[in-house]
Chain A
Amino acid sequence: MPFATARTVSLSGATGHLVDVQVDLAQGIVATAMVGRPDLSITEARDRCRAAVTNSGFEYPTSRRVTILLSPADLPKRGSHFDLAIAVALLAAAGQMPKSALDGLVFVGELTLDGRLRAVPGVLPMTMAAAARGMTCMVVPEPQADEAALIDGMAVIGARSLAQVVAHLRGDEIPTAAEVAPMASAPLLSWRGDQRVTDLDMADVLGMADARFALEVTAAGGHHLMLSGPKGAGKTTLAERLPGLLPDLSVEESLELCAIYSLAGGLPPGRTLITRPPFRAPHHSASRASLLGGGTGHVRPGEVSRAHTGALFLDEFPLFAGDIIEALRQPLESGEITIARGEEAATFPARAMVVIACNPCPCGDYHPTDRDNRCTCSEVRRREYRRKLGGPVIDRIDIVRHVEPVPAHEARDPLARPEPTAAVRARVTAARQRQGTRYAGTPWRLNGHVPGPALLERWPLHDLAARALEDRVYSGTLTRRGGTRVHRLAWTVADLRGLDRPGGDEVDVALRLRTGDPLMFSALSVAEHR
């Protein structure tokens, strides 16, 4: 029977579906038909495969009617990596190699006309999807074998050409082939080099005790932070030091991040797992697609997803386009982003700590409580500027801090010993470990991820503290969502202090962090509460 099946993976966002590529050779009008909702790049596979098969020294069934089905047929499919599966299924159907050789294998790769195997984006998430469905062996383009091998228990065959793959399946000697170039990647590099960020230390930040503490809490609980203040107050200085406060990524986090970079085509070959949390600082003029994800053809993850497990810094936040600000609502709340396009909706993880920085007015000099402010903006312009901050996004920010330029007396304080990053990171790491233990067996890792109802039911506050918080919500001084965020923050403060449950003082600190009120000075030193 001239029929064979090969397997591959179709990606929709970061979700992978196992796809059967079935090839049937029949009598009839000579033609090659492709069915099963392929997109344009897959229909082109017909022509690529035909040339690749012929040019690799195999025989294309030119006297038959070739039907190629991508099953399940109702799932829209996209991408050029179906080539390899189509070609091997075709050769097996034509009896040029045993059909049984295809069993249990997943094929991923794009073919060139001369039969070479080209790298494709998304090999890591494809491998993850295949592994999740019990597959144990992947055939991938050679430069991406490392990427696929990151998944435990997955055997990986890296090949340079169709001929090599066929030889492997037949059990023949592997022919030589020219080296395949790694993927021509054009990562949307952030405007600051990653290296520059890793060299920054908290020890160089004078004063700003309040904001330093806010940064520590942000890092410990995976919260979102807003820094507002006149230009030159040190907002960027602080934000850039956030990734340094985070511990190394866990294997699980690292795989998720690598999968995102793989989808974006930005995972360099030979690079093993990413170990440090990312810091992304897109400029406010960046396009919607580069920020949130999208792009023509293949849907790529944007900066919000590339910052997954790390920090996303949005400087001059009110200058971002209104629809981008609106769209940030979803990642801020649920840690993922869905890009809906036509009938396709791609979802990517986007669980980054979002740090928003804003000036208090267009000229950047205004401060409502600064008696020496030199702002020249009219109140109307200030209102217009601030309107962007209002509403849905601000309500989803956990911590609000107003920073002002460090006063001369703090900058000259002979006894000031700003704590170095390493010391803060040690506390953050300990606090994150407590959370890891507490949330073991749940889908959450950090306080910032836990939904309100779960928090109230399983991890409540001390009775009195809970009642005090409830009172604030009932009296209308705090929204329900705000109450949840205070609850999460209180847990983070308790985790930093090494307490088993947040009480009144932790709630007080959390409320102050949330409302922007000045903190109690004694709360800043976590060590004293141990």
Chain B
Amino acid sequence: MTRELEDRLARVALGRLVEPGDPRLAGVVAELGAVEVYAHLREDRDVTGVRTDVAARLAGLDPEGELERAERQGLRFVCPGDPEWPAPVADLERAGTLNGRGGVPLGLWLRGAGSLDDLCRRSVSVVGSRSATTYGVGVAGEIAAHLAGERVTVVSGAAFGIDQAAHRGALAGRGPTVAVLACGVDRAYPLAHRDLLAYIAETGLVVSELPPGCAPTKHRFLARNRVIAALSQGTVVVEAAVRSGALNTSSWAALLNRAVMGVPGPVTSAPSEGVHELIRGTGATLVTRGSDVLELVSPVGSHTQAPLRAPQRPRDRLSVSEQQVLDAVPVSAAAPTSSVARAAGLGAPAVGKALRRLRTAGFVEGGEDGWRLRPRDEAGTVS
């Protein structure tokens, strides 16, 4: 048995033994290696206090059989050292813990045609509340579709509401998408998204830290969120109430020094309150469209946007005093220069000069005896 295979089998086995994101294990696996840790536990020696917790699960472990079964089901297991293993996941090692979870996953179970490494080279996670509004669902879909069109992978959690909208937006944009689950990749959770997950697997990937067959539990969702954040260069939160799992994902993105972005909603909308707080309190970047997101996660200078500006009107090019004179010119009944000067509150000679310039520029018509505005079509009204 090669060292690689031994390591892989140990990681599969450890994945069965400990809950995902158990911080006690992450460090020790990096230090000693998975093989050593697994051997310790099998030989009834304790490692960082996990022995008693995993004792009940030690019996009946069969990592070889598990890999074989997975292969028959079209599933695969990738771990550090594999060519498909995405390097940025290693950042989790230094990211610390959140809610008692943390560390680099032992490995990831995959279902689908895509290559995890390729898919995560340019990727953004789009997450949000399960109780979303149609506004949030619409915006999430739009942003995801835009990213997908630029071949940026959309990573999300396949939940109801924003998550599914993000995946579907990406699929509609004919782009790649990755769903990270809090249960085994062979399971569909929520069940209503069975078709969605199958579709995602056709072109993208369904990913989980948990071995096949595992059920989703609350703390597994929290552990899952760190994987979503780690697999992407930035996290966009669309609609999250004050207590929302999506904010947990954005916290992980912040710990990983990835871009944290928020899409605002109506200020009166409860499902947007968490996002507003995220922007207000932690300095997450406010984004409103796909190109905003792209600008933030792309290399400097590659997707820079011009600042939004109202279209310039001819009047904007006039000097302040010219505008002052123009304001004083009557619309219909012509007025002589002296009268315009009085209305403008400026000296007559200067006003006369300004009026002649304005005539050349096409704003006014007439002469010394009477000036008035040149009529324009409504769209170009000089006012």
Task: Name A residues whose Cβ lies closer than 8 Å to a Cβ of B.
Answer: 209-210, 371, 376, 378, 407-416, 517-522, 524
Contact = CB atoms under 8 A, between A and B. Distances in A.
A521 B161 contact: yes
A409 B137 contact: no
Contacts of B132: 520-522
A413 B378 contact: no
Interface stretch (B81-89, B141-149, B331-339): B141-149
A214 to B, nearest CB: 11
Contacts of A412: 145, 172-174
B171 interface: yes
Nearest to A528: B192
A60 to B, nearest CB: 73
A521 B141 contact: no
Contacts of B134: 209-210, 518-521, 524
Nearest to A381: B378
Interface string B134-164: 1111100110110000000000000011000
A522 B160 contact: yes
A411 B138 CA distance: 12
Contacts of A371: 288
Interface band, chain B: 20 to 34
Contacts of B171: 413-415
Contacts of A413: 141, 168-169, 171-172
Contacts of A409: 141-142, 144-145, 168-169, 172-173
A519 B141 contact: no
28 contacts: A209-B134, A209-B137, A376-B378, A376-B379, A378-B378, A407-B141, A407-B142, A409-B141, A409-B144, A409-B169, A410-B172, A412-B145, A412-B172, A412-B174, A413-B141, A413-B168, A414-B172, A415-B171, A415-B195, A517-B269, A518-B133, A520-B132, A520-B271, A521-B133, A521-B134, A521-B137, A522-B161, A524-B134
A376 B138 CA distance: 26
B92 to A, nearest CB: 31
Interface of B: 130-138, 141-142, 144-145, 160-161, 165, 168-169, 171-174, 195-196, 199, 266, 269, 271, 288, 378-379, 381
Contacts of B174: 412
A376 B379 CA distance: 6
B284 to A, nearest CB: 21
A519 B133 contact: yes
Given A409-B144, A410-B138, 15 more contacts: A376-B378, A376-B379, A407-B138, A409-B141, A409-B168, A409-B172, A413-B141, A413-B168, A414-B171, A415-B171, A415-B199, A519-B133, A521-B132, A521-B134, A522-B160
Contact of B136 (A378, A414, A521): A521
A221 B161 CA distance: 27
Contacts of B138: 407, 410
A209 B165 CA distance: 12
Contacts of B379: 376
A120 to B, nearest CB: 53
Given A408-B172, A409-B141, A414 B161 contact: no
Contacts of B195: 415
A410 B141 contact: yes
A408 B135 CA distance: 15
A412 B174 CA distance: 9
A139 B165 CA distance: 66
A408 B171 CA distance: 12
Contacts of B199: 414-415
Nearest to A417: B195
Contacts of B378: 376, 378
Contacts of A518: 133-136
Contacts of A517: 133, 266, 269
Nearest to A376: B379
Contact of A520 (B131, B142, B165, B288): B131
A522 B381 contact: no
Looking at A209, A411, A412, the one whose CB has the most chain B CB atoms below 10 A away is A412
Looking at A376, A408, A414, A415, the one whose CB has the most chain B CB atoms below 10 A away is A415
Contact of A415 (B131, B136, B196): B196
Nearest to B196: A415
